Amino acid sequence: QKPLKKLKINGIALFPFIFIRKPEDKENKELINHEKIHLRQQLEMLVIFFYIFYVIEYYYWFFTLKDSYLAYKRISFEREAYA
């Protein structure tokens, strides 16, 4: 069973790799660019600090907004990658 199949995500950047759920999304330039931005963010923050701040920020917004999707959208790393 593929690891991303159960998750509600299309892709994830786990330094130094990008994992894509659907094979056809390998051609999705916007998704690939989004994940490449996350790889750059991870490098800039020495990888581990990216994950620490990502999780802290996610839970801050989750407990503030009481909504997992809105919390995800408010994470500064995601806002930068989407922009």
Taking the C-alpha atoms of residue 54 and residue 9, their distance in angstroms, rounded to an integer, is 16
Q: What is the DSSP string of 21-64?
A: SSGGGGG-HHHHHHHHHHHHHHHHTTTHHHHHHHHHHHHHHHHH
pLDDT at 8: 80
- Which amino acid is residue 61, in one-letter code? W
Taking the C-alpha atoms of residue 4 and residue 23, their distance in angstroms, rounded to an integer, is 12
pLDDT, one tens digit per residue, over 5-14 is 666 889 999 9
Give the sign of the dihedral formed by CA 32, CA 73, CA 70, CA 57: positive
pLDDT, one tens digit per residue, over 48-76 is 999 999 999 999 999 999 999 999 999 99
pLDDT, one tens digit per residue, over 30-45 is 999 999 999 999 999 9
